[in-house]
A and B are shown apart, each in its own frame.
Chain A
């Protein structure tokens, strides 16, 4: 009996081993757990159909994404062949030797012309080389309640109070006025939903796009100078505005990110809500948003000087240096950048960065928010991408959060402190003398 069993097991083993050697090619892409990752899995299934190479999109919750990815990189693990990583990772990924240099690949396929310039600058480029293929374009935009904005009674009351028509805000002053106007805690209605989560980059994305639109900068990304830039008068004014907007948020809005900000619309809490475009499909879907018909979208408004920017979200796809299937991964990327594939990517719900697809009428009319997305992608700006960006994020959270949410100190004190922190950090890493 024992002999028989051993024979059967050996047989199974032989079949399995020969089976895997025939269909050995398998690629694993690592990404965060959200809808676009599901769309990507749908897309890559077509690659499997075409080539026979199995591609699996492995995901992990957002809160864990950075930690898990870098734990694997630091251990030089080969669990992932490709990773769809955050734009801020470029510094750590390239300087740490975790990403494969794609500069040649970029030149060969002339990708500078294929993808929107801003997406190449932020998702791909670091220190003059290219490390990732723009994959999921994303920017911070706004959703708003069209029915509240278009209500004639509201329109008349607004005009009487503020002296101009109630419409989609064109600048931050209007954004603030509208937030104040709709902020009615007694009716269970609130003015605005903004990001306040300080555990990673939520709050910072909200604050930085206000700073950029006020004509400010986080620092000089080339020379790492921060004094006088991080704490410039424009930045102070912008931070004060963000604090003011926080006064018009729903109750318990002290640790909110994309989930809560979508809820602000689906539960009819707020008139306007900041969020990444990647989360807007859920707002346009009547199954997940009872107010889907009445939800409109707009681009982050301009600051007092007319500058207009949106915080960059989104990710690029890189080949992991420790992968055993680099050659296959390159073949996959060659497929992924094809225009017809990018078109499908857009149609499935992915935010393509492919210039021709993005500019096409078809894409811009496909959803109620694609036009705002297209416009936002032209004005995106990002946080620092240096390898120590996570320290910079922590320091900014520590300085800015107590002021915005807790009302402690002044905007000037917060940003003076931040400039000192950053200066010290850059000196420690030898970027600044």
Chain B
């Protein structure tokens, strides 16, 4: 849009009558939003960056003193923090991997005409519309070894899902897969329905095997949308808090966001927790960057 176009106002408009230009109107819409962002986003972000170099504790009436990179040094040399990061990585890989496989698989199944298709798709979308806290509490009941329906249905007897330190993280990841596969499914479905039909027809004429059709036509054309799903889910899984927090208290399920919460709001180590939050932010940005680079390459093809 050029400024010349912006300057033209409908002479009948009220704004014109008051002598307002389009630029003035644009600014009136944008400036409050930017101010809002600065006050509630940018300012706290920079403020907490400042805190991350101090020994500040919000619970103590003492001024913060500058300690340089000490917080970062302490965090990065703390084996417990590394354990939290390992747990988080494991959780991200299992749950996002599971969601991609299940979500894309279901989308492939749904990508054809059959009766009540719309209704079935809507039903499948329900899990992701629920509140995390409710899902966590319900799955805790489902996993109960004495009377939970999962052990009953699978004939596992009194198998401990959440009390077993080796199993708990997978149990939480399964719940996350159940909840968020529909999201991947939805994006995949959008991608699948956009694949031109004539490509499949050409492949059929050439007698291409269905595996060949899948790997050479379907997957490359859907992959940009799948990558977007992957980016969103990885970011979400990396900072997930609610499900592991509600479902299990095991150290083997203490993802980094739970550690951060405890550090900031139970132990009130404000400076240290700001530093940890920044480390998390950097990790998320790094992962997202890798994905976006890859996404751009896929798009160029």
Contact = CB atoms under 8 A, between A and B. Distances in A.
Interface of A: 66-67, 70-71, 73-74, 92, 95-98, 185, 197-200, 250-255, 387-388, 390-391, 393-394, 397-398, 401-402, 405-406, 408
Nearest to B159: A251
A252 B144 contact: yes
A408 B251 CA distance: 12
Contacts of B267: 388, 390-391, 394
A97 B269 CA distance: 17
A96 B60 contact: yes
Contacts of A97: 61
A394 B57 CA distance: 17
A255 B269 CA distance: 25
Contact of B60 (A199, A387, A391, A394): A387
A197 B146 CA distance: 19
Interface in B151-174: 158, 160, 162-165
A303 B266 CA distance: 32
Given A70-B59, A92-B59, A387-B60, A252 B165 contact: no
B80 interface: yes
Contacts of B212: none
Interface centre among B251, B266, B268, by most chain A C-beta atoms within 10 angstroms, is: B268
B59 A406 contact: no
B213 interface: no
A33 to B, nearest CB: 17
Contact of A252 (B61, B146, B250, B265): B146
Given A71-B265, A251-B158, A252-B162, A198 B249 contact: yes
A420 B99 CA distance: 41
A416 to B, nearest CB: 15
A376 B144 CA distance: 34
A254 B160 contact: yes
B165 A405 contact: yes
A186 to B, nearest CB: 11
Contacts of B248: 255
Given A70-B58, A252-B144, A253-B163, 12 more contacts: A67-B266, A74-B58, A74-B268, A92-B60, A252-B146, A254-B162, A254-B249, A390-B266, A390-B268, A402-B251, A406-B165, A406-B252
Contact of A74 (B59, B80, B158, B252): B59
A254 B266 contact: no
20 contacts: A71-B265, A74-B268, A96-B59, A185-B158, A251-B145, A251-B158, A251-B163, A252-B144, A252-B162, A253-B163, A255-B249, A387-B59, A390-B267, A390-B268, A391-B269, A393-B266, A394-B266, A401-B249, A401-B250, A406-B252
Contact of B251 (A96, A393, A401): A401
Contacts of B145: 251-252
Contacts of B57: 387
B160 A402 contact: no
B262 interface: yes
A69 to B, nearest CB: 10
A394 B146 contact: no
A393 B158 CA distance: 31
A95 B144 CA distance: 44
Given A398-B80, A401-B251, A67 B265 contact: yes
Nearest to A253: B163
Contacts of B162: 252, 254-255
Contacts of B158: 185, 251
Given A70-B268, A254-B160, A197 B165 contact: no
Q: Report the 9 A-B pairs with minimum CB-CB distance, sorted nearest first.
A: A254-B163, A406-B165, A97-B61, A74-B58, A390-B267, A255-B249, A251-B145, A391-B267, A67-B265
Given A70-B268, A388-B267, A405-B163, A254 B250 contact: yes
A252 B57 CA distance: 37
A12 to B, nearest CB: 33
A96 B62 CA distance: 8
A254 B253 CA distance: 13
Nearest to A388: B267
A199 B158 CA distance: 24
B165 A408 contact: yes
